[in-house]
Structure 1
Amino acid sequence: MVKLIAVMIMNWWKKIVKTFQYSPNMDREGFVLKETPEEKEKIQEQKSDKEPKDNSEQESIRDHDEKKESGYRSRLRKTGRVSRQERSEQEGQRGKTKVSQGEKNADNKEETDSNGKQEHGDRRPLKKPLRVYEAQEHQNPDRVSPYLEVNKKRIFEIYGLPENKDFIIREFTIAINPPVRAFALFMEGLSDKAAINQYVLQPMMLFSNFHEEVDGYLLDYIEKRVLITNQINQHDKFEKIVGGVNYGSTAIFIEGCDRALVVETKGWEHRGVDTPTNEPVIRGSQEGFGETLRTNTALVRKHVRSSQLTTEMFKIGDVGQNDVAIMYLRDVANEKLVEEVKRRIKSIKTAAVIDSGILEQFIEDHPWNIAPQVMATERPDRVAYMILRGKVAIFLDGNPYVLVVPTTMFDQLHSQEDYYLRPLYGTMLRLIRAFAFYMAFLTPGVYLAIVLFHKEMIPTELLLAISGNRERVPFPSFVEVVIMEVSFELIREAGLRVPGILGSTIGIVGALILGQAAVQANLVSPILVIIVAVTALAGFAIPSYSLQFSLRIVRFVYILLGTLLGFVGIVFGLFVQMHMMASLKSFGVPYLSPMAPATKTTGDVVFRVPVFSWEKRPDYLNTREEEFQPNVARGWVKEETKKPGNQKKKSQ
C-alpha cells in the first residue's frame, strides 16, 4: 500500500513538473525557421492589448519572442543554409539572452515575493534546446519525438529490430530547400511495395521541390501537397502508429516534426469472392464472404444501397488488435439492441480474437446452453435480408463467417432459398426440415423405447422380422445403437479431415462397407443400420451447422432416456428441452419467438407466406420502423381494378 501511494505521488509530481516546464523544439539541420507575416501581425496585436511596460522590459520581451518564434516554431519557410560562423554567433547570442534573462528572473523573484504575482509577462523563460542524448532521457516513450534518431531507436525497441525481419525501415531525404531527413516504416507482406514506391517515396524524394516556397507547417505541406494516396492520418502516439503499421500502412517520421504520417498502403494477398462452401443454394446469389473485412461489408452494401446502412469499427485484443465491424440500419434497428452489441464487444478483454466462433462465445448470453444463440452465415444476401428486418451483423476481419444477432430457433431452421422460391415450394421445404429436425435426435431413442418397453406398438410381422435378425447379435439393443452411432460419428469426422475429394468417398464407402460387414458379422441388426442412416440424413438436412452439432449431442441423451424409461423418458426429455429453449434469450429476444411467448407474427415462421404479405417487421425486435412494405405491395393489382373495363365487368 505504501509503495502504491509513493508511485501515485511520484506520477502526480511528474505531471506538475511537466506542466510548468517548457520543452522547445530542437535545432534543425541546415535551416532555420521563421514566422509568417500573418503571425507577426497577430503577435503585434497581442502585444498592443497588454498593459504598457517599461522600454527595457518591452525590448527584453521582444528579443525573447523573436528568439522563440524564429528558432523553435515548427513552421518551415524557404531559407538558405546557415554557415558555421552564423551558427556560432546565434549560440553566443542565446547565451547572452540566457544570462540577461537569469538576472531579470532574480529581480522578478523579489517582486513576486512581495506582491504575490509576477508582472513581467505571460511567456516563460526559454531553455536551451536538448541534445539528442539528452532528449532520449527526457522524451516520453509513448509519443513521437522531433528527433529522428530518438524515434528510430524507439521503433527498434518496439519491434525488436534488427532481429525482427518482418518490418522494413527505409531512410531517405525529402527534396525541399533545405533537404530534410526522414524514414518510412512498413511491414513486409502486408504492405504494397509498388504503392509505397509510387505514392510515398517517389513524391517525397523527387516531386516535393516543385514549389519554390514551402507554405505552412512541413507536415501539413507533405500531407496536402506532396503525397498522393487516398488516406493519410497524423498521429503523435506510437500506439496509433504501431496499430496502423501492423495493419499494412506505412508510417513516415520526419526530422523536426513531433508527429508521424500514417499512409494507407495495404496490399496483402487474399482470397477473392467465391461461392459459399457450406450454404449452397440452387436459386439465389452465388457470392460468399471472404477473409477481407472491407470486401465483406461492400458485398452487403451491394444488396442494401441505403445511406442509413451504418458500419462502426472496433478493435479487439490487446495483442492481436483485430478489427470488428457492426452493420445495421439507423432508422430501423432498435437503439437498445445496437448499444448492447457495442457494449459486449467493447467489454471483451483478451489477447486476440482470431475467429468469429471465438467472438460468438464471448458475446452469447448462455455459453453452456446447447442451442446456438448467434447465427453464423457466409451468404451476403442473407445478412442483407436480416439487416433489413432490423437485426445487427457483426464482421470480424480475416473470417468469412458473419454473425447476426439476435437469432431464434426458426431462423436456424430457415434457409435463404426459402424466400427465393414460390410460397408452396418454400413451405414444403420448411415442413420437411421440421420433420428432419425431430428425427435427427429422437429416432434412435424412440426405437429403443419401442423395442425394450412398448413392443405392442410394432406390427407383428415387423416385430418377428426384427426379433429374427437379432437372434445372433450378442449385444443388447442399447450397446448395439451406441456402437453404430459412434462408428458413424467417426466416419463423418474422418471424411471431413481427409484432404481433397477423398473425404466424401471415404464417408460413403466406409459407411456402406462397415455397415454391411457389421451385419454379416452379426454385430448389429439390419434394421438398426437403416435407423442410424436415416438419423444421419435428417441431421444433414438442418441448414445451421451449429444446430446440427447440438442435435448430435442431444441424440445420445435421448438414447439413454429411451433405454431407461421408455416413452416416459422421451417425454421427460422433451419437457426439459422445451423448458430450456423457452427460457433462453438471444440479446434479449426469447429464443422461441414468436411462438413462445406469442407475439404478432408476419406469418413467415413455419409456412412461407407470399412476398407481398411481408407488410410488417418481426414484432419481437421492436424496430423503430415497423412497416416493411405497404399493405398493397403489388401496385399493378390496384391499378387494374381502377380500369374502366374492369369496373364494367364488376357492375355486370
Structure 2
Amino acid sequence: MNFSRLKQSLTNLITYKGPQDSYDFSVNISTSKNITNEADEKVSSNLKDNKTIIDRKYNTLINSDIIIRKFKLKSNNKPFSAFIIYIDGMSDSNLINQFILKPLMLRNKANTYKTQSLKTINKDKRVIIQRDSNNLAIEIENSLLPQNSLVKETEFNNIFSAINMGNCVLFVDTLDTAFNLDVKGFKQRSVSSPNNEIIIKGPQEAFVESIRVNTSMLRRATNTENLVIENVLVGKLSKTPCTICYLKNIANSDLVAEVRYRLNNLEIDTLLSTGQLEQLICEDNKYNIPQVLSTERPDKAAKNLYAGRVVILVNGNPYCIILPATIVDFISSPEDTNLKPIFANFLKILRFLAMGITLLLPSIYIAIVDFHQELLPTELLFSLWASRENVPFPIIFELLVMEISFELIREAGLRVPSPVGPTIGIVGALVLGQAAVSASIVSPFLIIIVAITGIASFAIPDFSFGFHLRITRFLFTIAAYIAGFLGIAIGLYVYLCILCSIKSFGVSYLNPNDSINFNKKSNNFFAMPTWMQEFRHNYIHPKKERAQNNISMKWRHPNE
C-alpha cells in the first residue's frame, strides 16, 4: 500500500485550494487603488465615460433585458449625443416613447433649440465661445420632458437604484447630471381580500407587493395630512425600499427617532421580507417571542397609526410591521373594533383561554396522569387507566407522537393545493387517530387532548404568536413529565420572568398596566364602548393623549 499517496490525498482533502490551484486558469485579484467603485462615482460630462460605467455595472453585453437607446439632440444646429437606459419589463415602453424619446427627438420641425453662449478671452486674447450646459439642462427639464416626476441625479449610486426600481435615466453629452424619470410599468397583483386575517364585518382589502400601492392605501385609510411616510433604503446590494409611517401630531418623536436609527444602521447585503427586518430591529432575539405585530390589513395599520404607533412597509411584501406591540395586541382581532363591547370582550376572553389551553393542556394532562391521579374522580380515573391498559409506550411518547403528527397534518394542509388542503387535514386526522387507537399506540383520551389543543391554537389571531405558543408547549410538556405540577409551576415562573423582561421599543411586553383601570377611559384589555374611549394608551407616550372629547355624543347632551 502506498502510504505517501494516501497521505497526499488526505492533505488535499483538508487543505483549502483556491480556484487558481484547482483549475487551469489564474485568478487575477487586483487591489489597485486605481479601480474605484462605480456606485461612488459622479456623473461625468463625458458621455462615453458614463456609458462605460453603465456597461460595466450592468454587463450590457450579456443582460438581454437592459435596454440602451442612443440618439442625438441638436442645439444651435450642433448635435449632442445622448442615451437612455431602462430595464425591459419594469418600465413602460409606451411612456418612454411618448414622453421621453418623442419630445427629445421630434420637438419642433427643425429639431433644434437655442442655448446661451458665453464669451471668454484666453491668454492669447482670443475670443472663445462656450455653450452654457446649465441652460441646456434647464431647457431639457422645463420644455422637453413632460414628466410629472423628474429628478436630477449626480451620483451613480442613486442612478442604479432608480434603474433597478423601473425608472428610465437620460444621459446627455456635456452635462454632468442625469435625468431620472419615473416610468414604472411592471406587472403587479391587484388589491384583493385578505387571505389570513379574515373578518366578517369590516373592510375587505389587503396590502399587495407594491410599496407605493400600500402607502396609497394607508393614505386613504387614515385620510389625514399628518401622515408622514419616510423612505429608507436597506441592504447594500438589494437597496430594498422601506417606509416609516407615522402621524406627526400623535406619534412619540423618540419612538420615531429610534425606529429611524435602527433602520439606518443595518449593515446587511440584502433585505427580502418583513420577517428578516423583524429579526434585525427587535431587542431580545434570543427568545422565540414575537415583539412586533405583522398585518396585511390597511385598516388595522391605520388604527394603530392613530394610536401613536409606527408602521414599517417593505417593498415586495404584502405585510407591514407595527411597533411597539404588547401581549394584548397578539390576542386582539381587527374585528373587535366593529363589534359591540360585550361581543368583543367575550371573544377576547375566549382567545385568552385558547392561549392557556394551547400552552398548558398537554402538560396538565401528563401531570395528572403520572403524578396527581388523586385529582380525578374515581370513575374517570378507572376509565382513563382502562383506555391505556393495552398501550405499551410511556405517556410522553404517546403525546409527542400525536403532537408531531398533528403538526405534520397542519403543515401538509398548508403546502398542498388549496382545494385539497382541507380534505387532507380532515381525512388525515380521522384516519390517523382511528388507526392509532385501534393499534393500541395511543389512548382515546390523548386523541381528545391533542384535538382540543390543536383547535385552540387556531383561535389565536396572530400567526407568529400562535407558532410561539405551539413551540413553547413542548417545553411545558417535558417539564410536566419530569416533575408534574411542580415542573409546570417552575416553567410558568421562568416564562413570566422572560415576558416581564422583554421590551418592544421601550414598551414592556406585559403592558397595558392600566388594563383594569376603568377610571382611565381608554381601550385596553377589555374593550370599552366607543364613546368611552377618551384616551390613547399611555404606555406608548403619544404626543396627543386624548383621543376624543369627554362628551363625544353632542346630540345627546346639547347643553354640555
| Superposition TM-score tier, normalisation by shorter sequence | 0.7 to 0.9
| One-letter amino acid of the counterpart of residue 531, structure 2 | F
The answer as to whether partners of 1:602 and 1:618 remain within 8 angstroms in 2 is no
Q: 2:364 aligns with which of 443, 446, 464?
A: 446
Aligned-residue offset at 1:595: 2.9
| One-letter amino acid of the counterpart of residue 198, structure 1 | Q
1:311 is matched with which residue?
Answer: 229
Q: Does 1:199 align with 2:99?
A: yes
Deviation readout 1:563-586 (Å, 9 max, x if unpaired):
111111111111111111011100
Q: Does 1:230 align with 2:148?
A: yes
| One-letter amino acid of the counterpart of residue 179, structure 2 | L
Aligned-residue offset at 1:561: 1.1
What are the residue-to-residue correspondences of 1:102-501 with 2, within 5 Å? 142-174=41-73, 176-178=75-77, 179-207=79-107, 213-214=114-115, 217-501=135-419
Aligned-residue offset at 1:175: 5.1
CA distance in 1, matches of 2:375, 2:104: 87
Aligned-residue offset at 1:172: 1.1
| One-letter amino acid of the counterpart of residue 469, structure 1 | S
- With 434-443 and 151-160 compared, the bigger mean Cα shift is at 151-160
Q: Does 1:626 align with 2:526?
A: no
Aligned-residue offset at 1:598: 9.1
SS at match of 1:638: coil
Q: Does 1:579 align with 2:497?
A: yes
2:16 is matched with which residue?
Answer: none
Structure 2 gap ranges (5+): 1-31, 117-133
SS at match of 2:86: strand
CA distance in 2, matches of 1:539, 1:436: 7
Aligned-residue offset at 1:531: 0.5
| One-letter amino acid of the counterpart of residue 471, structure 2 | I
SS at match of 1:637: coil
Aligned-residue offset at 1:597: 10
| One-letter amino acid of the counterpart of residue 538, structure 1 | A
CA distance in 1, matches of 2:522, 2:135: 64
CA distance in 1, matches of 2:306, 2:337: 14
Aligned-residue offset at 1:155: 1.1
Aligned-residue offset at 1:631: 0.6
Aligned-residue offset at 1:180: 2.1
CA distance in 2, matches of 1:212, 1:396: 43
Aligned-residue offset at 1:282: 0.3
Q: CA 1:550–1:327 in structure 2 vs 1: closer, same or farther (change >3 Å)?
A: same
| One-letter amino acid of the counterpart of residue 85, structure 2 | L
Deviation readout 1:301-324 (Å, 9 max, x if unpaired):
111111111010011111001001
Hey, which of these two has a bigger chunk of strand by percent?
A: 2
Q: CA 1:522–1:481 in structure 2 vs 1: closer, same or farther (change >3 Å)?
A: same
SS at match of 1:636: coil
1:34 is matched with which residue?
Answer: none
Aligned-residue offset at 1:495: 1.3
State the superposition RMSD in angstroms. 2.2
2:9 is matched with which residue?
Answer: none
The answer as to whether partners of 2:236 and 2:267 remain within 8 angstroms in 1 is yes
Q: Does 1:610 align with 2:529?
A: yes
Q: Does 1:516 align with 2:434?
A: yes
SS at match of 1:217: helix
Deviation readout 1:625-645 (Å, 9 max, x if unpaired):
111000111111112x78xxx
Deviation readout 1:102-152 (Å, 9 max, x if unpaired):
xxxxxxxxxxxxxxxxxxxxxxxxxxxxxxxxxx99x99812222222221
Deviation readout 1:192-215 (Å, 9 max, x if unpaired):
111111111111111155776446
Aligned-residue offset at 1:604: 2.7
TM-score normalised by the chain length of structure 2: 0.87
2:480 is matched with which residue?
Answer: 562
1:21 is matched with which residue?
Answer: none
CA distance in 1, matches of 2:137, 2:516: 62
CA distance in 2, matches of 1:554, 1:518: 25
Aligned-residue offset at 1:465: 1.3
The answer as to whether partners of 1:175 and 1:207 remain within 8 angstroms in 2 is no
Q: CA 1:601–1:528 in structure 2 vs 1: closer, same or farther (change >3 Å)?
A: farther
Deviation readout 1:286-315 (Å, 9 max, x if unpaired):
010000101111111111111111010011
TM-score normalised by the chain length of structure 1: 0.75
Deviation readout 1:377-413 (Å, 9 max, x if unpaired):
0000000000001000000011011000100000011
1:117 is matched with which residue?
Answer: none
CA distance in 1, matches of 2:186, 2:291: 34
Aligned-residue offset at 1:505: 1.4
1:29 is matched with which residue?
Answer: none
- With 437-446 and 210-219 compared, the bigger mean Cα shift is at 210-219
Aligned-residue offset at 1:603: 4.9
Q: CA 1:601–1:401 in structure 2 vs 1: closer, same or farther (change >3 Å)?
A: farther
Deviation readout 1:31-58 (Å, 9 max, x if unpaired):
xxxxxxxxxxxxxxxxxxxxxxxxxxxx
Aligned-residue offset at 1:609: 0.9
| One-letter amino acid of the counterpart of residue 537, structure 2 | P
| One-letter amino acid of the counterpart of residue 154, structure 1 | I
CA distance in 1, matches of 2:538, 2:478: 39
SS at match of 2:557: helix
Deviation readout 1:522-545 (Å, 9 max, x if unpaired):
111111101101000110100011
SS at match of 1:578: helix
1:590 is matched with which residue?
Answer: 508
Aligned-residue offset at 1:238: 1.4
1:535 is matched with which residue?
Answer: 453
Q: CA 1:166–1:212 in structure 2 vs 1: closer, same or farther (change >3 Å)?
A: closer
Aligned-residue offset at 1:594: 1.5
Deviation readout 1:262-297 (Å, 9 max, x if unpaired):
111111111111111110000000010000101111
CA distance in 2, matches of 1:353, 1:161: 25
CA distance in 1, matches of 2:435, 2:522: 49
Indicate the structure whose relative CO is greater, using CA pairs within 8 Å and at least 6 residues apart: 2
2:11 is matched with which residue?
Answer: none
Deviation readout 1:191-241 (Å, 9 max, x if unpaired):
111111111111111115577644661111111101111111111221111
Structure 1 residue runs of 4+, over 6 Å off?
596-600
Hey, which of these two has a bigger chunk of helix by percent?
A: 1
| One-letter amino acid of the counterpart of residue 160, structure 1 | N
Sequence identity percentage: 39
Aligned-residue offset at 1:606: 2.9
SS at match of 1:616: coil
- With 332-341 and 211-220 compared, the bigger mean Cα shift is at 211-220
SS at match of 2:67: strand
CA distance in 2, matches of 1:498, 1:637: 56
Aligned-residue offset at 1:587: 0.1
CA distance in 1, matches of 2:417, 2:269: 31
1:60 is matched with which residue?
Answer: none
Deviation readout 1:85-113 (Å, 9 max, x if unpaired):
xxxxxxxxxxxxxxxxxxxxxxxxxxxxx
